[in-house]
Amino acid sequence: MSAPAVMHYRTPIGHTEKGYIMIKKAFYGLSTPQLNYEILPPHLPPTEQLPAPQKITLYHPKDNDYKVPAALAIGDSVRTGQKLALYPDEKHYVISPISGRITALSPFTGDFGKNFAAITIARDDSEAVDETFRENIQTPSFELLSDYLVGAPGAPPLETLANSNGNIKTILIRGLDPDPMVDTSQYIAQSRMQDLKKGIHILKEVTSVQDVVLFTAGETVQGYGHIGARVAGVKTRYPAALPPMVMKDVLGQILPAGKTCEDLGVCFFSAEAVISIGSAFESGQVPTAKTLTFIKKDGTRKIFETCIGTPIRYILEAYGETVNEYDRIILGGPMTGSAIYALDHPVGPDTDAVIVVDRDKAAYASDYPCINCGECIRICPAKIQVNMLVRFLEANQYEEAADSYDLYSCIDCGLCSYVCVSKIPILQYIKLAKYELERAKTSEAANA
Amino acid sequence: MLEKRDMLEQQIPLSQKKLIVSHAPFFHNGSSITERSYHTMLAALPALFMGLYHYGIPALGVVCLSISSAIIWELVINLVTKRTITIGDGNAAWLGMLFAMLVPATMPWWAVITGTFIVIVIGKQIFGGIGSNAFHPVALALAMMMLSWGYLLDFDAALLNYDLEFATVYPLAAAKYYGAASTDAFNLTDLLMGRQLGGPGATFGLGLIIGGIYLMLRGFIRWEISLTFLAGIYLTATVFNLFNPAQFAPPAFHLLTGYTLIGAFFLATEDSSSPVNFVPMLIYGAAGGIMTVLIRNIGAWVDGVILAILVINLISPLLDKIRPPALGKVE
């Protein structure tokens, strides 16, 4: 009897029992439950392309409330590939994936209070293409990348790179998605190797970073010869592809509690981000087609391309997936993704997966107390005393949790919540605690 | 004209489906407290059935009364404290069943109800309910009953009127008061097959071992605790036996009598009152085994399991301080 944890490509994941969509724990509980990354077959089907919808929405990041009048207005016409900035001299921007007219501008608040302006564009038949990027591609520079590719598919972390003041010594390219069941990075890294190679070349050219490492599932490492980067394999068991674990396994560096990878001079790129850079210079156009894994209610999976800004509703309709009241829609993977509340929510540059979970199959949290069974401690990759930590977090004692119970060692993998017998939303408590502590620190600094 | 249309569009359409937003992760491995309780009860059934076979209807009466009164006490506390009704999780039923497995089949009704009151109200709910109890509720209840109504738990006296096809002497009492030679009357196969005096669920060694192995394999109890508990008993009893074979019973006798097996698999392993880290679990189990034999051989009580478990429950939080450093811990 083996753990039914390994899934096959495009076959149902887990199964339904007692109302949970899950990869059930093995019958023999002595072996710790495993969530495995699935290795894609070497020959992949070509990517399906979803035609661009009539109307798309782009989330333009906003730092704070500007007093200046907006540089964009409803009714403005936009060209494909045109850079749209909400204000003059604004460093944030979005790139329009279609040509048409702006039909709506509205504020949008994302997770943890991040502010955006939602720019809705209705497509017309003008097919006008913006050529400003193409005019500059002969001389690749970091500024050119920053000016056009921040919102490209895969969301290249160019701002992080720019803000590091040359501290970044290593770029790690993710050829394996951090979440199980999400195949996007693996698929795209395998199927678009030429663009990946070109992207790596350009990254090395325009940044001072010379150590570029592509990591992927251990067994598939041989597939990436002559890519222009060091290739490293990671284990196929979640959370081996989460940044702190990759730091440990690939670079041999243990991330000190409370530090970020950037503090240690390491920056993570998704394979898709590098491919976007490569294909932008190959084709002369800023890429706007986002590859994503779509997981339906019955667990079947599909990989396709759609343009950034496509509303989730459009994808659901295109693939005939019905959503009922109180279902859940998750952007990102099952372990680290986030649920959305409206079907009009668009695909963003970092949306690697869309998961639809039936209300009867969703995992519900409970208000039961911790029974001290120790499952979380045995599965925690960071060796945190989760049973103690959660007691402090439930009592809002965040500082004590950080000082004595290793809150900042947590790598946010969510395995504790996954195995919790009492179904305590442990990861939610942890994220909240980190957020509250950060907020307290910021307001202290502001009042000092 | 355009603006007006946009304003309309920004309103949420009536057909908008409500979605549930929750925090990651969105999957769960399907484990639950109910599952744990019922599988633990299932694992205890073979041993209990043997007890029912030997002690008949009175034992069945005690079991039924104990389970039902435990559930009722839990419900009463839920209602009085105005908290969520928790009788559905099976924990109260399991504790009631475990209590009945440990007491003589002839225990009077009022003592059973008082016992489950101590189990549920004093042992569990006063501390804050499931997961918060520092001691195993049943071990605590039995210790209090032993101090308050010791004669009710004297198996020789309580089961005096039974006519069974095996020696109707409580083995541990015989060993304590008549020396190791008296243990010759009990052969190990009889002890293993439940042909000995004791609690209805505590005597059938083979059944308890099968149940324990099932629970260990399923991961509902930890092998680290159970096996070191048994090892602690075996080794300590061996040392005593080598030291004075005439006075102290051989180790195999200690393993198969009294509450040893039910203690190793069903009492010491209780989640809330036992440690969770690897090394602490080993120390915890071994300490329980050593304490048990010390109490049996040189202490005042006939069986040491209950008191030994209360002692190790007490040191459990302290033991859990022995833990590996967290990832990237900054000193």
Report pLDDT for A11.
Answer: 33
- List, in sequence order, every residue forming a beta bridge with A55; answer none if it has no partner: A122
Element (H or E) spanning A212, and its range?
strand A211-217
CB contact under 8 A, A371 and B130: yes
Mean pLDDT, residues A401-414: 93
CB contact under 8 A, A30 and B128: no
Mean pLDDT, residues B26-42: 92
Q: Is the pLDDT of residue A18 over 60?
A: no
- List, in sequence order, every residue forming a beta bridge with A106; answer none if it has no partner: A118
For the ranges A209-213, A408-412, B180-184, B238-242, the lowest mean pLDDT is seen at B180-184
What is this model's ipTM? 0.89
Kindly report the nearest CA distance between residue B319 and chain A, in angstroms: 13
Kindly report the nearest CA distance between residue B191 and chain A, in angstroms: 29
Tens of pLDDT, residue by residue over B90-101, are 999 999 999 999
Tens of pLDDT, residue by residue over A114-129, are 888 899 999 988 878 8
Tell me the CB-side half-sphere exposure of residue A142, using CA atoms within 13 A.
16
Q: Is the pLDDT of residue A13 over 80?
A: no
Distance CA A306, CA B139 (A): 62
Which of B2, B16, B20, B27 should we substitute to test contact with A (largest number of A Cβ atoms within 10 Å)? Answer: B27
The alpha carbon of residue B245 and the mean position of all alpha carbons in its chain are separated, in whole angstroms, by: 31
Kindly report the nearest CA distance between residue A332 and chain B, in angstroms: 10
Report pLDDT for A102.
Answer: 92
The top-level CATH class assigned to A290-357 is alpha beta
pLDDT-derived band at A25 (thresholds 50, 70, 90) equals low
Distance CA A148, CA A92 (A): 10
**Which residue in chain A has the smallest CA separation from B281?**
A374
**Which residue in chain A has the smallest CA separation from B26?**
A334
Return the number of other C-beta atoms located less than 10 Å from residue A115's C-beta. 15
Tens of pLDDT, residue by residue over B277-313, are 999 999 999 999 999 999 999 998 999 999 999 999 9
**Which residue in chain A has the smallest CA separation from B327?**
A382
Kindly report the nearest CA distance between residue B90 and chain A, in angstroms: 13
Kindly report the nearest CA distance between residue B94 and chain A, in angstroms: 15
CB contact under 8 A, A375 and B31: yes
Kindly report the nearest CA distance between residue A357 and chain B, in angstroms: 9
Report pLDDT for A66.
Answer: 62
**Which residue in chain A has the smallest CA separation from B322?**
A385
Kindly report the nearest CA distance between residue B74 and chain A, in angstroms: 15
For the ranges A32-36, A79-83, B40-44, B229-233, the lowest mean pLDDT is seen at A32-36
**A239 preceded by a cis bond (ω within 30 of 0):** yes
CATH architecture of A136-283: 3-Layer(aba) Sandwich (3.40)
CB contact under 8 A, B9 and A104: yes
CB contact under 8 A, A339 and B23: yes
Q: In percent, how much of chain A has pLDDT > 70?
A: 91
Q: Is the pLDDT of residue A4 over 50?
A: no
CB contact under 8 A, A22 and B29: yes
Please give the C-alpha separations between residue B297 and each of B179, B239, B302, in angstroms, as whole numbers: 10, 11, 8
Kindly report the nearest CA distance between residue B249 and chain A, in angstroms: 34
Query: Do A210 and A230 contact (CB within 8 A), yes or no?
Result: no
Chain B residues with CB under 8 Å of A381 CB are: 327
**How buried is residue A112: exposed, middle or buried, by Cβ count under 10 Å (0-12/13-18/19+)?**
exposed
**B25 preceded by a cis bond (ω within 30 of 0):** yes
Chain B residues with CB under 8 Å of A395 CB are: none
CATH architecture of A49-134: Beta Barrel (2.40)
**Which residue in chain A has the smallest CA separation from B8?**
A104
Chain B residues with CB under 8 Å of A422 CB are: 33, 131
Between chain A and chain B, the number of residue pairs with CB atoms below 8 A apart is: 215
Report pLDDT for B209.
Answer: 97
CB contact under 8 A, A28 and B217: yes
- Sketch the domain layout of chain B as residue ranges: 33-319
Q: Which two tokens stand for residue B237?
A: 């009893």
**Which residue in chain A has the smallest CA separation from B324?**
A383
Tell me the CB-side half-sphere exposure of residue B2, using CA atoms within 13 A.
11
**Which residue in chain B has the smallest CA separation from A331?**
B24
pLDDT-derived band at B329 (thresholds 50, 70, 90) equals confident
Q: Is the pLDDT of residue A200 over 60?
A: yes
CB contact under 8 A, B28 and A363: yes
- List, in sequence order, every residue forming a beta bridge with A120; answer none if it has no partner: A57, A104
Nearest to B29 among A24, A326, A370 (CB): A24
For the ranges A33-47, A174-188, A335-349, A364-378, the lowest mean pLDDT is seen at A33-47
- List, in sequence order, every residue forming a beta bridge with A301; answer none if it has no partner: A295
Chain B residues with CB under 8 Å of A103 CB are: 2, 5-6, 9
Distance CA A326, CA A324 (A): 6
Strands (E), A278-327: 289-295, 301-307
**Which residue in chain B has the smallest CA separation from A106?**
B10
Q: At CA A394, angle to CA A393 and CA A395, rounded to 5?
A: 90
Nearest to A374 among B129, B276, B330 (CB): B276
Which of A18, A355, A421 should we substitute to test contact with B (largest number of B Cβ atoms within 10 Å)? Answer: A421
Element (H or E) spanning B175, and its range?
helix B171-178
Q: Among residues A392, A393, A402, which one has the least CA distance to residue A432?
A: A393
Mean pLDDT, residues A389-411: 94
Please give the C-alpha separations between residue B217 and each of A28, A319, B206, in angstroms, as whole numbers: 5, 43, 16
Please give the C-alpha separations between residue A45 and each of A174, A177, A216, A302, A304, in angstroms, as whole numbers: 21, 19, 19, 11, 10
Mean pLDDT, residues A400-422: 93
Distance CA A199, CA A422 (A): 46
Chain B residues with CB under 8 Å of A406 CB are: 326, 329
The alpha carbon of residue A1 and the mean position of all alpha carbons in its chain are separated, in whole angstroms, by: 34
Q: Among residues A234, A227, A195, A233, which one has the least CA distance to residue A212?
A: A227
Mean pLDDT, residues A264-273: 94
Dihedral, CA of residue A314, residue A315, residue A320 and residue A325, to nearest 10: -70
Kindly report the nearest CA distance between residue A20 and chain B, in angstroms: 7
**Which residue in chain B has the smallest CA separation from A370?**
B131
Handedness of CA A134, A136, A139, A140 (dihedral sign): negative
Topology at the third CATH level for domain B33-319:
Ammonium transporter fold (1.10.3430)
